[in-house]
Amino acid sequence: MTVGALNWNINGSFVINGTVNTSSTYAGGWFMALNTLNSWNLNVGQNATLKVTTGGVISLDAFLTGAVKWNFAQGSSVLFNNLNPNQNVVSLAPGLGSSITMTDPKVVTFNTAGGSVFSTTVLTFPITISGSGLRTHSSSTGYTFDSTYDLITPNKGTITPTSSDIWYRMNTGTLTTFNPTLQVTNLSPNSYGSDASSIAAGKYISWYQPLGFQLNATLSSMNRTFNVSLDPTLTQGTPVDGSWSSLINGASTETLVVGDDRAQNPNIHVLVKMTQNNFPNGLQYYWVDPTTKTTSQLILNSALQIASITSDSTLPSWIKMTGAGSWYTLTFPTDSGLNIKANNSLLTQTNTNAGTFQYTVANGPS
């Protein structure tokens, strides 16, 4: 009987679209220990793709005492997805010299319907992040992939609204094991610290390149209603002489969600531009800064900077960061953000679209 290495060299796109039954009939999962394989070398090349969905565990002790080495190259996309609610993705200890090495892949994701991604029996299998570094997203809940096996979307939000998700900005370094009593993490500059045990117990772990800076329209709520009265004695009333009223606040809070996960600190600014005023003779629009209360009139098709986000440690109270830079939630109370002035040429209106405004995120502090 010939004994040798198992070598997988992926330089294109290789997808195993299995089911919960795939590789599940044998207790050892993917490989039967037939004493014919003494090591496993898995190399996913530059910009290559390996996406594997099965119902069986990857038992790393199936290679006698040989090493298991997985290497994921620059720009590669990798998924190990387990559908079996009674299995981990990876279990048991391979031979000495085993490792996972990630050198600037696009994304490497482990996901499971059962247990945790890595069993506590996974020893001698250190994970090394080299190159420019990778972000981390871990969740207590597994992700349900569709037939496209899109690996980017799960890292744009929490896995479910109720899942406990953990995020870290870009790191390099090594995790020695996922066994909670033996675990050592040597990551820089963002150590997992007390989160290490929760990440180890996660059903979803993804290391990935930053998604960049963006505006999240789904999470934002920037529509604002204004109540205007033709009674000049009211706070929101218009003067009888046709002049402009005092500043009229909005009826509800505005929320704008942006993100910048590219580096160790954000480096973006946010702009607003009025693209349409449906009542130019009766309404003027103003932007009120939440901190200084400075009022700036908005001019048609002229952009105004409304926020600069360059440090997580110096954010004003109205900006909250979550997801290690994935989201910056800008909250504008009724007396800030978009406000108006009106005059008595404004005819009676009910729930009428009075203007259109464009919000954008740009690179740099200003």
Distance CA 104, CA 98 (A): 19
Distance CA 295, CA 281 (A): 20
- 221 DSSP assignment: B
- pLDDT of 306 higher than 70: yes
The 10s digit of each residue's pLDDT in 59-104 is: 888 888 899 999 999 999 999 999 999 999 999 989 999 999 999 9
Report the predicted TM-score, pTM, of the whole model to 2 decimal places: 0.91
The 10s digit of each residue's pLDDT in 317-329 is: 999 999 999 999 9
Q: What SS3 class is residue 153? A: helix
pLDDT classification of 365: cutoffs 50, 70, 90: confident
Could you tell me if 84 and 56 are in contact, meaning their C-beta atoms sit under 8 angstroms apart? yes
Could you tell me if 92 and 121 are in contact, meaning their C-beta atoms sit under 8 angstroms apart? yes
Q: What are phi and psi of 162, to 5 degrees?
A: -110, 0
What is the structure's pLDDT at 142? 98
Q: What are phi and psi of 325, to 5 degrees?
A: 95, -5
Distance CA 110, CA 88 (A): 10
Within the chain, where are the H helices? 196-200
Average pLDDT estimate for 118-141: 95
Query: Which helix (H) or strand (E) element contains residue 51?
Result: strand 49-54
Distance CA 310, CA 93 (A): 44
**Adjacency order of strands within the sheet including 213-215:** 213-215, 254-260, 327-332, 319-322
pLDDT classification of 33: cutoffs 50, 70, 90: low
- 155 DSSP assignment: G
What is the structure's pLDDT at 16? 94
For residue 10, give Cα distances in angstroms to 77, 130, 206, 221.
11, 20, 20, 44
CA nearest 189: which of 165, 203, 168? 168
Peptide bond into 189 cis (omega under 30): yes
